[in-house]
């Protein structure tokens, strides 16, 4: 099983992680999957619930709810910055956070704004409507772009924990660029999870987590896959060959993919600059909507 | 006195604040000024010590030591990024922080990196040699660019206090763009103070301070004047006229300078982009020197 | 007259330049001014036409049509990025350029993107919908951000002339940050002129012009005042004093304002980053509208 | 042969292109390769000369001289920004351009500064010492960052040709990010070619060339491989498997690699931001050296 996983490649999407279980017939009892297709907006909403430890192990993701919005439209420019997707994302945020939890929000823009596909979080924070310092009566938003460990020398978890202790928000939303397994999902999927951020996830591979357990407040994680690990691309391309191969060849293959040099490489589309800018806007608009008084 | 001050204009430089006392003959006992001129490097070092409350009131700066390095060379490009100034600045940092206090440093890059003259702090942090996460045996540096309140919704003091509580550095150095009174000092002076950052100082006008009292560790403030308040420019230009004027005219004048519209304006040189980039490098090199084992 | 002008301060707005003539009663025959107030959108449209050489001399601007859109709303954030102003600006562009002239447009984003108030042109170009390389049937847009002379070593006019000769657009729109005389107009006015860009105008003070004469195609200039010259601020604040002063004092005053050190300084608002970003979007949307087939 | 090439993957390095001929024993007469190893600086200098049409066809690169500097040190940080490599690069530039050709240089920073691995050219231009507008007596440098076609709507070749016609430099140096075949060479190799830039080369895949033929002045191309095509990574990993496979399997494999989705993907290291910044500095220092009067 472990070996099998390794050449299927890493994914931060619970949807992809549970898909592979389906195909191998190993889906456990603790995994609930619901799908909904909105014809009018062409958005596919999938909700994966991981409810027990067996399921945690099988999927390789912690217990919790993972919602993915998939829309081919996300890949293309749109004058309204995909308002229909922002609206749906805002609706999902409001389902996962109660009105009390939405009282004062801290948004954390994870990632390295100097590396284009990892700049999703910092860019999204740049478009938020920040209100905490204005002390309005309604819900307030504060935000931080902590930077990555090579820039700060600190674990992101240390920085965020310190700020949460000091400013006492009622909830945290962490926005992060993710790694997908399939190139088809790059920049075409938004995942919202009520589990927070866990070690090893995200493009920057966090060492410590940002979770309700560590921060003391609910943590939503919003992410978009903007890269595929280099090793995964190799595995993908060879998938169809595997069946016809002998065991010795397979081993060679796996060895090749786990090549040390591939480990620090990632694969990303050539137009990633425009795409990341656009999707970051879609996400920040959703948060602005979910935390303002106005109806939509 | 208060009125007098208001049209002399705001300054973040203790040097300028104590200078005006000299000219008006109001220098108090609690102000000690020492000057040193290094002929070889053409750097003028002035140390202003404010030692009691009367002096605090007269100068308008809290008790402590303020060292300024003035060098006309800072205004011009230099292939070695002014290594002689970095070296002197490193020497001053080592005088103000003991070896124990230099064990683990947190550098805070204050200011708004999107506004050119306010980007000094963020730019300086970008050039630091960050080492805390590498866990070397010697002294370590960590750093944060917290952003400004309009971007975060939080007081910078809240953010830094949270991070200090969590990561326990032995000292903090805060780098900030300052406002000067005289256009002659713009980008030609570096101030190092052992008092930290106080409310109302810096280009962004901090509401809360970053001080040893609030953070629990020594706080050095390193600043460079990159702007002059618009009201100060007006006052400067009119200085020579004041003597010949009648009281009514003076009042009108002062009223004009305190014009609401001038309050949110600042004055800065046209080549501020190159200058800020260059000086930020000089400062970060000094910190790198002061916190590495190597001699210089 | 010359002296008088010098302490009134430089302005790139024909509206301001002709206003001062009104107050001094020196308005010439060759100046036609029409005003229109749109109640619904709260936009004031002023059209200044300079029709002969006497008027050119008096106003200090070349013959041509200068339209200004003034809206207090421009100063404030707006979810739709001021669509009503974009729409009006698009309408004015279509009035100044015939359908044939709109066939293939080259937009030139003038200014230094590293200096916040001078980044208007480069930012606006970043939001344009570029179509020339896609070879659609309709009107096409191409764009260039040439940089400033300190970055390129070349006159902007040389760069643009070379590109125009090679790519043969049917019209050029040059977007530039301007200097105003009054702080009240900062970031609250958009000027569209059919005269192109002339030497000495803009924040960066172009040495050579971009005009129909030099480029061989019609050149519209779109500009927003984002700075006031430091000398102008001084003059503004002292305006009311001038009447009561004697000639000798006036001379001293003027001398003070022409101070060498003030020449390379500019005055700009503290929130210039947000403002410039927003207005650049309003302008690029207007160009996108004027050069797409869609109605609005 | 063609098929063979396609799964070996694209490379912009003449060194790599001629290497594969060596292994396949197909090296032609028209290919001259000289190697030099500088022990003191640990730089390996390889000069590939392609002298006739057969060699052009075999290597897939136009006739001319391609010099590569390889140094493992390039991958690591260095306080002096690799001055020894800058010095060697400056020496090579002076060998390829005569004193007359070095009279007035135009540097073209190719690539998209918004996409980290493609920002090499724009970053290098940012560090140049621009002198043409200062009209010094010696050699002068001017520079342009033209942007990519998606941003400008124009071929880069059109923009550069127009500027060359207008400003008449005596030589052009084009700096560009390249694609390598081997991940081992990423960011560890600098190539200087006297052939200019040809269609299909560079990360952005230029449609038209920048050559002496098209511009009328000598064109040096300086490039660093910062990405590997996604298809190449797949080919690399599978190299060892190929020998043991049957023809049908090979075909399947090749088909997989030519997958439409892989075409618009590139592979790059996770620390590409720091690396590209550092190497761009090494290159701009070399040009500054080669075009200043000073000895080194």
- Contact between C152 and D144 using a beta-carbon 8 Å cutoff: yes
Interface partners of B (3+ CB pairs, < 8 Å)?
A, C
Q: Strand, coil or helix: what is D31?
A: strand
Give me the pLDDT at residue C63, please.
94
**pLDDT at position B5, please?**
39
Substitution target from D182, D237, D272 for chain A, most A beta carbons within 10 A: D237
For range D184-195, the mean pLDDT:
94
- Residue D4: band (very low, low, confident or very high) from pLDDT cuts 50, 70, 90: very low
Mean predicted confidence (pLDDT) in C103-129: 96
Which of C120, C227, C230, C280 has the highest number of chain B CBs within 10 A, making it the mutation to test binding with B? C230
Is the pLDDT confidence value at A193 over 90? yes
Residue C245 pLDDT: 63
- Cα–Cα distance, B210 to B224 (Å, whole number): 17
Size of interface A-B (CB pairs under 8 A): 98
Q: Is C150 close to B271, i.e. CB distance below 8 A?
A: yes
Tokens 């902007």 sit at which residue? Answer: C156
pLDDT band at C179 (very low <50, low <70, confident <90, very high): very high
pLDDT category of residue D74 using cuts at 50, 70 and 90: confident
Q: What is the pLDDT of residue A5?
A: 39
pLDDT band at C181 (very low <50, low <70, confident <90, very high): confident
Share above pLDDT 90 across residues of chain A, in percent, rounded to a whole number: 60
Residues of B in contact with A130 (CB under 8 A): 150-153
d(CA D55, CA A294): 69
Cβ-in-10-Å burial (0-12, 13-18, 19+) of D249 comes to middle
Q: Return d(Cα C132, Cα C126) in angstroms, integer.
A: 15
| pLDDT tens digits along A281-296 | 999 999 999 998 554 5
Question: Among all residues of chain B, which has the CA nearest to that of C205?
Answer: B270
Asked if the model's pLDDT at residue A206 lies above 90, the reply is no
- Interface touch B237/C259, C-beta < 8 Å: yes
Higher pLDDT, A251 or A145: A145
Residue A195 has a pLDDT of: 96
Comparing C-alpha atoms, which of A196, A206, A160, A155 is closest to residue A175?
Answer: A196
Number of A to D CB contacts under 8 A, please give it: 102
Q: Please report which confidence band the pLDDT of residue C8 belongs to, taking 50, 70 and 90 as the band edges.
A: low
Quote the pLDDT of residue D256. 56
Question: Higher confidence at residue B220 or residue D260?
Answer: B220
Distance CA C36, CA C105 (A): 28
Q: Range with the lowest mean pLDDT among B80-84, C130-134, D166-170?
A: B80-84
Top pLDDT among B5 and B156 is at: B156
State yes or no: pLDDT of C274 exceeds 60.
yes
Determine the Cα–Cα distance for residues D146 and B88; give it in Å rounded to an integer.
Answer: 41
Nearest CA in chain A to D205: A270
Taking 60 as the threshold, does the pLDDT of residue D243 lie above it?
no
**How close C31 gets to chain B, by Cα (Å)?**
31
Using a CB-CB cut-off of 8 Å, the residues of chain A touching B163 are: 154, 158-159, 162-163
Alpha-carbon span D120 to D283, nearest angstrom: 9
Residue B1: per-residue pLDDT: 27
Q: Are A173 and A222 in contact (CB under 8 A)?
A: yes
Among B265, B271, B277, B280, the residue to mutate for chain C (most C Cβ within 10 A)? B265
| Chain A contacts to D (CB-CB under 8 A) | 112, 114-116, 150, 183-184, 203-204, 228, 230, 233-234, 237-238, 240-241, 244, 249, 252-253, 256-257, 259, 261-262, 264-274
pLDDT interval class at D182 (50, 70, 90): confident
State pLDDT tens for residues C218-230. 999 999 999 998 8
Query: Looking at residues C158-177, what average pLDDT do you find?
Result: 97
pLDDT of residue B115: 95
Give pLDDT tens digits for C31-65. 999 999 999 999 999 999 999 999 998 889 999 99
Handedness of CA A17, A23, A26, A32 (dihedral sign): positive
Q: What's the count of helices (H) and strands (E) in chain C, helices before strands?
A: 12, 9
Is the confidence at residue B3, as pLDDT, over 50?
no
Fold of B7-291: Rossmann fold (3.40.50)
What DSSP string runs through chain A? -HHHHHHH---S-HHHHHHHHHHHT---TTEEEEEEEETTTTEEEEEEEE-SHHHHHHHTS-SEEEEEEE-GGGGS--TTSSHHHHHHHHHHHHHHS-TTTTSEEEEEE-S-TTSGGG-HHHHHHHTS---GGG--SS-EEEEE----HHHHSS-HHHHHHHHHHHH--SEEEEEEEEEES-GGGTTTEEEEETT-B-TT-TTTT-SS-B-HHHHSS-EEEEEEEEEEEHHHHHHHHHHHHHTT--HHHHHHHHHHHT-HHHHTEEEEETTHHHHHHHHHHHHHHHHHHHTSS---
Chain A residues inside the 8 Å CB shell of B132: 153-154
Give the whole-number percent of chain B exceeding pLDDT 70: 83
pLDDT at C5: 39
| Contact across the interface for D253 and A261, Cβ inside 8 Å | no
Is the model's pLDDT at C157 over the cut of 70? yes
| Average pLDDT of span D101-129 | 96
- Could you give the CA distance from residue C56 to residue C68 in angstroms, rounded to a whole number? 18
Share of chain C above pLDDT 90, in %: 60
Distances (CA, A) of C264 to A124, B98, C228, D225: 36, 42, 12, 42
Those residues of chain D whose CB sits closer than 8 Å to some CB in chain C are: 125-126, 130-134, 140-147, 149-155, 158-159, 161-167
Cβ-defined contact of A237 to D273 (cutoff 8 Å): no
Cα C273–Cα C275–Cα C277 angle in degrees, nearest 5: 70
Most confident of A193-202, B194-203, B261-270, D93-102: D93-102
| Tens of pLDDT, residues A67-105 | 999 998 888 877 667 889 999 999 999 999 999 999 999
Q: What is the mean pLDDT of residues A48-64?
A: 92
Rounded to the nearest 5°, which phi and psi values hold at A194? -90, 15
- pLDDT at position D64 over 90: yes
Is the confidence at residue C13, as pLDDT, over 70? yes
Which tokens go with B158?
């809240």
Q: How confident is the model at residue B257 (pLDDT cuts 50, 70, 90)?
A: low
User: For chain D, which residues lie within 8 Å of any Cβ of chain A, measuring from their own Cβ?
Assistant: 112, 114-116, 150, 183-184, 203-204, 228, 230, 233-234, 237-238, 240-241, 244, 249, 252-253, 256-257, 259, 261-262, 264-274
The pLDDT tens digits for C260-272 are 667 788 999 988 9
Name subunits touching C (3+ CB pairs < 8 A).
Answer: B, D
Q: Are C50 and C5 in contact (CB under 8 A)?
A: no
How far is Cα D289 from Cα D129, in angstroms, rounded to an integer?
10
- A161/B153 Cβ within 8 A: no
Which of A183, A254, A267, A278 would you mutate first to test chain D, the one with the most D CBs within 10 A?
A267
* Closest to A224 (Cα-Cα) out of A203, A199, A194: A203
> How large is the average pLDDT for residues C128-138?
85
pLDDT (0 to 100) of residue D210: 96
Domain limits of chain C?
A: 7-291
Find chains touching chain A: ≥3 CB pairs under 8 Å: B, D
Chain A residues with CB inside 8 Å of D234's CB?
233-234, 237-238
Q: Are strands C64-70 and C43-50 parallel, antiparallel or unpaired?
A: antiparallel
**Alpha-carbon span D161 to D209, nearest angstrom:** 10
User: Which comes out higher in pLDDT, residue D18 or D152?
Assistant: D152
- Select, from the ranges A23-27, C171-175, D243-247, the one with the highest average predicted confidence (pLDDT): C171-175
Helix (H) or strand (E) run with residue C237 in it: helix C230-242
- Residues 6+ positions from C246 with CB-CB distance below 8 Å: none
D178's tokens? 């390249």
Question: What's residue D6's pLDDT?
Answer: 41
- pLDDT-derived band at A6 (thresholds 50, 70, 90) equals very low
Residue A259 confidence (pLDDT): 60
What's the pLDDT band for A7 if we cut at 50, 70, 90? very low
Q: pLDDT-derived band of residue C206, with 50, 70 and 90 as boundaries?
A: confident
What's residue C78's pLDDT?
74
- Whether the CB-CB separation of C173 and C107 falls below 8 Å is answered with yes
C-alpha pair distances (Å), A200 with each of A61, A205, C34, C181, C184: 11, 4, 65, 56, 53
**pLDDT exceeds cutoff 60 at D71:** yes
Distance from the Cα of D158 to chain C's closest Cα (Å) equals 6
* Chain C residues within 8 angstroms (CB to CB) of chain D: 125-126, 130-134, 140-147, 149-155, 158-159, 161-167
**So what's the pLDDT on residue C135?**
72
Q: Do B270 and C269 touch (CB under 8 A)?
A: no
Q: Following DSSP, what letter does each residue of C176-193 receive, concatenated?
A: EEEEES-GGGTTTEEEEE
Question: Closest residue of C to D162, CA-based?
Answer: C162
Site from D127, D152, D160, D164 to mutate, C interface, most C CB atoms within 10 angstroms? D152
pLDDT for residue C136: 66
Q: Which of A146-160, A184-198, B66-80, D98-112 has the lowest mean pLDDT?
A: B66-80
Compute φ and ψ for C61, nearest 5 degrees. Answer: -130, 145
- Return phi, psi of residue A51, to 5°: -115, -15
* Helix, strand or coil, per DSSP, at residue B211: coil
Residue A20, pLDDT above cutoff 80 = no
Q: Tens digits of per-residue pLDDT, B272-286?
A: 999 999 999 999 999
Q: Which chains touch D (3 or more CB pairs under 8 A)?
A: A, C
Average pLDDT over residues D92-97: 96
Q: CA B269, B275, B280, B285: dihedral to nearest 10 degrees?
A: -150
Interface residues from chain B to A (CB-CB < 8 Å): 125-126, 130-134, 140-147, 149-155, 158-159, 161-167
**Contact flag A154-B144 (C-beta cutoff 8 Å):** yes
- Under the banding of pLDDT at 50, 70 and 90, the label for residue B207 is confident
- pTM attached to this predicted model: 0.91
- ipTM higher than the 0.85 cut: yes
> What is the Cα–Cα distance from C181 to C17, expressed in whole angstroms?
9
As a whole-number percent, the residues of chain C with pLDDT over 70 amount to 83
Among A36-45, B33-42, B75-84, the least confident range: B75-84
Cα dist from C78 to A85, B99, C44, whole Å: 21, 53, 18
Give, rounded to a whole angstrom, the gap between the first and last alpha carbons of chain C: 46
Provide the mean pLDDT of chain B: 86
Angle at A109 between CA A106 and CA A112, to 5 degrees: 155
Predicted local confidence at residue A138, as pLDDT: 78
Q: How far is A165 from chain B (nearest CA, A)?
A: 7
Q: Is the pLDDT of residue D225 over 50?
A: yes
Average pLDDT of B220-243?
78
Q: 3-state DSSP call for residue B249? A: helix
Half-sphere exposure of C281 (CA within 13 A, CB side): 16
B85-94, C83-92, D128-137: least confident range: D128-137
Question: Do the bridges between strand D64-70 and strand D104-109 make them parallel or antiparallel, or are there none, so unpaired?
Answer: unpaired
> Does the structure show a pLDDT above 90 at A25?
no
Could you say which DSSP state residue D210 is in? B
* Residue A218 pLDDT exceeds 50: yes
Residues of chain A with Cβ-Cβ distance to B159 below 8 Å are 144, 162-163, 166-167
What pLDDT is attached to residue B2? 32
Residue of B nearest to A160 (CA): B163
Which chain C residue's Cα is nearest to D104?
C153
What pLDDT score does D123 carry? 97
Which of A156, A166, A217 has the highest number of chain B CBs within 10 A, making it the mutation to test binding with B?
A166
Answer yes or no: is pLDDT of B152 > 90: yes
Per-residue pLDDT, D116: 95
């Amino acid at each position: 099983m472990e070996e099998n996983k390794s050449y299927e490649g890493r994914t931060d999407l619970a949807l992809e992680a549970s898909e592979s279980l389906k195909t191998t017939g190993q889906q456990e009892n603790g995994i609930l999957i619901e799908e909904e297709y909105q014809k009018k907006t062409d958005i596919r909403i999938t909700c994966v619930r991981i409810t027990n430890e067996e399921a945690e192990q099988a999927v390789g993701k912690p217990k919790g709810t993972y919602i993915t919005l998939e829309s081919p439209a996300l890949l293309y420019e749109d004058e309204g910055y995909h308002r229909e997707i922002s609206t749906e994302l805002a609706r999902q945020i409001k389902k996962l956070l109660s009105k009390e939890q939405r009282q004062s929000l801290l948004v954390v823009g994870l990632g390295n704004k100097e590396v284009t596909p990892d700049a999703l979080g910092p860019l999204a924070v740049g478009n938020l409507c920040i209100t905490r310092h204005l002390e309005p009566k309604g819900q307030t938003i504060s935000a931080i772009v902590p930077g990555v460990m090579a820039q700060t020398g600190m674990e992101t978890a240390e920085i965020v924990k310190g700020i949460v202790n000091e400013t006492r928000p009622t909830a945290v939303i962490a926005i992060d660029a993710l790694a997908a397994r399939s190139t088809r999902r790059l920049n075409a999927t938004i995942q919202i999870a009520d589990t927070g951020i866990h070690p090893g996830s995200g493009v920057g591979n966090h060492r410590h987590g940002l979770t309700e357990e560590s921060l003391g407040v609910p943590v939503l994680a919003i992410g978009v896959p903007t890269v595929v690990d280099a090793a995964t691309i190799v595995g993908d391309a060879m998938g169809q060959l595997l069946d016809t191969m002998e065991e010795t060849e397979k081993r060679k293959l796996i060895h090749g993919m786990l090549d040390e040099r591939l480990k620090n490489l990632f694969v990303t589309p050539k137009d990633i600059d425009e795409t990341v800018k656009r999707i970051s806007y879609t996400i920040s608009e959703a948060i602005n909507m979910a935390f303002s008084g106005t109806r939509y």
